[in-house]
């Protein structure tokens, strides 16, 4: 059974829950990073977490974690799940509070979750290439912030799928 990172603890995936009033769930009020793992090594983890902390700062979210803290957490997450090739998704939300667009006052603890997925690199596709389509970029104007709001990406991917392409550019 896979273990999920939930606020600094590793819990069974069937025990991990999302609160109905988590601001990430209600508003997309949070940030994320996705880090590849190649042969047991986290790929550019420091750079990913520097960006994550910068994104957190840009949206006024205090994570109370250092880059080294976050690297240690995801390294442990990969090890616990025996993932040596794959990826780790980690996200932080502004936390659980009554539904209101304004930030909670006083601030609440952020919710940090993550999971590890094992998979091999798609060598055939890397060597032979894949089909793509072009589409309008409808993402929001702050693409420098890796926010949870990926609806533009989802719609672009669905457009690609509709035309039997692997990706939309």
Mind telling me the catalytic residues?
146
| Residue pair 30/97 in contact by the 8 Å Cβ criterion | no
As a whole number of angstroms, the distance between CA 148 and CA 132 comes to 24
As a whole number of angstroms, the distance between CA 163 and CA 26 comes to 32
Would you give the DSSP letter of residue 8? Answer: T
As a whole number of angstroms, the distance between CA 23 and CA 31 comes to 11
The CA dihedral of 66, 25, 8, 115, to the nearest 10 degrees, is: -100
């Amino acid at each position: 059974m896979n273990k999920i990172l939930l606020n600094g603890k590793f819990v069974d995936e069937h025990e991990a829950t999302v609160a109905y009033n988590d601001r990430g769930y209600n508003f997309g009020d949070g940030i994320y990073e996705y880090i590849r793992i190649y042969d047991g090594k986290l790929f550019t983890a420091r750079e990913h977490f520097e960006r994550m902390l910068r994104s957190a700062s840009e949206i006024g979210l205090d994570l109370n974690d250092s880059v080294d803290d976050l690297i240690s957490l995801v390294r442990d997450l990969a090890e616990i799940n025996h993932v040596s090739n794959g990826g780790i998704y980690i996200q932080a939300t502004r936390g659980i509070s009554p539904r209101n667009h304004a930030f909670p006052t006083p601030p609440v603890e952020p919710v940090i979750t993550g999971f590890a997925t094992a998979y091999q690199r798609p060598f055939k596709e890397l060597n032979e290439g894949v089909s793509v389509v072009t589409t309008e970029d409808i993402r929001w104007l702050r693409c420098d912030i890796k926010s949870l709001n990926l609806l533009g990406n989802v719609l672009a991917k669905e457009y690609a799928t509709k035309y039997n392409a692997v990706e939309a550019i």
